[in-house]
Amino acid sequence: MTNTVGHLINGELINDNHRSQAVFNPATGGSDTQVALASKQTVEQAISAAQAAFPEWRNTPPMKRARVMFRFKELLEKNADTICQLIGKEHGKISHDAAGELQRGIENVEFACSAPELLKGEHSRNVGPGIDSWSEFQALGVVAGITPFNFPAMVPMWMFPLAIVCGNTFVLKPSERDPSSTLYIAQLLKEAGLPDGVMNIVNGDKEAVDVLLTDERVKAVSFVGSTPIAEHIYATASANGKRCQALGGAKNHAIVMPDADIDNAVNQLLGAAFGSSGERCMALSVAVAVGDEAADKLITTMKNAMAGLSVGVYSDATNDFGPVITKAHQEKVVGFIDSAERQGASIVVDGRAPKVAGYENGFFVGATLIDDVTKEMDSYKAEIFGPVLQVIRVKSMQEAMQLINDHEYGNGTCIFTRDGEAARYFSDHIEVGMVGINVPLPVPVAYHSFGGWKRSLFGDLHAYGPDGVRFYTKRKTITQRWPSSGVREGASFSFPS
């Protein structure tokens, strides 16, 4: 029987029977689930519910709002297995990887629990004779989130816990490719005591997103996804007078210096390049080896290590990574490997035809290692978003850094070295938003903020953490005097000083 994933509006699960599309299990290639694709009217209904819930939620004390998040965190932990199963079935990532994603999402809920502290504002006494001044951070109103397929639990939790504790109400449009875990998580909020209408989910595609970008009741939009869509979202939301942060795609390079501990670098690169089938915006997809000696050792050690990797179904925790998200994406990833080969690169480990017993129709791509890649190749310029590690050989650290700084994306990067001076120079001068020093996936913890540079982020404020609080609130500064009774001041025509 086919199950249909609907919408969550004003605390009710609904299906508007407008349009729908299949959700696949990428490990089997089959589908027993449909996702409803919301109409304009359904999205407007969700915005109306959020708008109606706003006045009371805005006035709910921050401590009470935070208590909902404390309960929500407990429910997420209690239901972690169910959530990870739903992620695995529709995304394909292995259970241990899904558990890691969920944990990083929960950390954002934990950060949101500190709302009373985060929203204390700033106060100055006696800025003038008998005058006090303070700044408050007030909620915006209805805010929207639009999220990608690759982290159906974590990325939505970069957004709505913080937005909600800041006093906003929320409409989330998750990825239509793996919607079930996100909807399940949102339903836990009701159990945690969140009033109806504060959190709403509309499943859908461009038709739904267009409403969120143009309806004047939506005050801000957080987006995470690919760069062409991020750019469109930022331009459209901004043109419609909304605050917007739009996080886009990536091409993350790791520099392997001649002095690096290559065995350690290879271990780190294995997980960072192939974990989650390379479908992470922080995946390390290019290793830049400085000098042929480092490159040769890297290739040999990596090739040997890759022989032990296993690709397979999400429910078998001994697998290292699973399939890619769709058949079309599988073909796209294989197409990039073909093009690298055509353009002169050497395929050292070829994952184009992996054998996964019992899952012959799954969307699998095996771990692939490509040497002698150049910056002119299509496979280097584009984000592949698959389990493919490309190696570029350069002669110096300066050349490696120039390569990274010239790339259109600037999300994450890493340097493997034992030289502190080189590492400091690297972190100081590299044009990338998140930098690792012997740390392959430098995803900031929840009390910092996440964001890339260049065409990996459109907007001023990064996601979650301190920047998230600023994004989901507007500053109001109040200057106050209570004159003593009977005291009158004369009019003054000079600027107050």
Smallest gap, in angstroms, from Cβ of residue 184 to ligand NAD? 17
DSSP-derived secondary structure for 365-433:
---EEEES--TTSHHHHS---SSEEEEEEESSHHHHHHHHHHSSEESEEEEE-S-HHHHHHHHHH---S
Which of 65, 73, 93, 173 is close enough to bind ligand NAD by CB under 6 A?
Answer: 173
Please give the Cα distance from 355 to 344 (Å, whole number): 26
Q: What angle do CA 9, 11, 16 make, to 5 degrees?
A: 35
Contacts to ligand NAD from residues 196-215, by CB under 6 A: 205-206, 209
The answer to whether 459 touches 120, Cβ cutoff 8 Å, is: no
Smallest gap, in angstroms, from Cβ of residue 204 to ligand NAD? 7
Tell me if 221 contacts ligand NAD by CB under 6 A. no
CA distances from 376 to 181, 250, 336, 344, 392 (A): 40, 17, 13, 11, 11
Contacts to ligand NAD from residues 426-485, by CB under 6 A: 452, 456
Stretch that binds ligand NAD, among 6-14, 114-122, 146-154, 417-425 (CB under 6 A): 146-154
Six-digit token pair at 87?
Answer: 């992620």
Q: What angle do CA 251, 256, 261 make, to 5 degrees?
A: 135
Tell me if 285 contacts ligand NAD by CB under 6 A. no
Which of 226, 238, 339, 427 is close enough to bind ligand NAD by CB under 6 A?
Answer: 226
Of 167 and 436, CB closest to ligand NAD: 436
Which of 90, 97, 101, 176 is close enough to bind ligand NAD by CB under 6 A?
Answer: 176
Please give the Cα distance from 182 to 188 (Å, whole number): 10
Of 107 and 132, CB closest to ligand NAD: 107
For residue 125, how many other CB atoms are within 10 A of its CB? 8
Of 364 and 450, CB closest to ligand NAD: 450
Please give the Cα distance from 6 to 369 (Å, whole number): 41
Smallest gap, in angstroms, from Cβ of residue 385 to ligand NAD? 6
Smallest gap, in angstroms, from Cβ of residue 308 to ligand NAD? 27
Tell me if 341 contacts ligand NAD by CB under 6 A. no
Tell me if 148 contacts ligand NAD by CB under 6 A. yes
Which of 175, 181, 245, 276 is close enough to bind ligand NAD by CB under 6 A?
Answer: 175
Tell me if 383 contacts ligand NAD by CB under 6 A. yes
Contacts to ligand NAD from residues 259-278, by CB under 6 A: none
Q: What angle do CA 445, 459, 51 make, to 5 degrees?
A: 90
Given the residues 84, 166, 281, 414, select the one marked as catalytic.
281
CA distances from 95 to 51, 72, 298, 319 (A): 37, 21, 29, 9
Phi, then psi, of 224 in degrees rounded to 5: -135, 130
Please give the Cα distance from 356 to 388 (Å, whole number): 18
Stretch that binds ligand NAD, among 9-17, 68-76, 89-97, 141-149 (CB under 6 A): 141-149
Tell me if 146 contacts ligand NAD by CB under 6 A. yes
Q: Which helix (H) or strand (E) holds 149?
A: none
Tell me if 411 contacts ligand NAD by CB under 6 A. yes
Q: Which helix (H) or strand (E) holds 151?
A: none
The answer to whether 108 touches 121, Cβ cutoff 8 Å, is: no
Which of 25, 150, 169, 252 is close enough to bind ligand NAD by CB under 6 A?
Answer: 150
For residue 476, how many other CB atoms are within 10 A of its CB? 11
Smallest gap, in angstroms, from Cβ of residue 280 to ligand NAD? 7
Name the residue type at position 233: I
Smallest gap, in angstroms, from Cβ of residue 187 to ligand NAD? 19
Of 92 and 452, CB closest to ligand NAD: 452
Q: How many residues bind ligand NAD (CB under 6 A)?
A: 27
Stretch that binds ligand NAD, among 113-121, 144-152, 214-222, 415-423 (CB under 6 A): 144-152
Stretch that binds ligand NAD, among 150-158, 160-168, 268-276, 339-347 (CB under 6 A): 150-158
Q: Does the annotation mark 281 as catalytic?
A: yes
Which of 166, 172, 224, 284 is close enough to bind ligand NAD by CB under 6 A?
Answer: 224
Name the residue type at position 71: R
Which of 385, 426, 458, 464 is close enough to bind ligand NAD by CB under 6 A?
Answer: 385
Stretch that binds ligand NAD, among 102-110, 218-226, 286-294, 352-360 (CB under 6 A): 218-226
Six-digit token pair at 70?
Answer: 């404390």
The answer to whether 182 touches 152, Cβ cutoff 8 Å, is: yes
Stretch that binds ligand NAD, among 79-87, 115-123, 172-180, 372-380 (CB under 6 A): 172-180
Q: Residue 479: which residues within 8 A CB-CB, separation 6 or more?
A: 127, 131, 132, 133
Closest CA to 145 of 237, 12, 263: 237
Which of 25, 33, 45, 147 is close enough to bind ligand NAD by CB under 6 A?
Answer: 147
DSSP-derived secondary structure for 80-136:
HHHHHHHHHHHH---HHHHHHHHHHHHHHHHHHTTHHHHT--EEEEEEETTEEEEEE
Of 157 and 394, CB closest to ligand NAD: 157
Smallest gap, in angstroms, from Cβ of residue 388 to ligand NAD? 14
Q: Give me the residues that bind ligand NAD (CB under 6 A), please.
A: 146-151, 155, 173, 175-176, 205-206, 209, 224-226, 229, 247-250, 281, 383, 385, 411, 452, 456
Active-site residues: which are they? 281
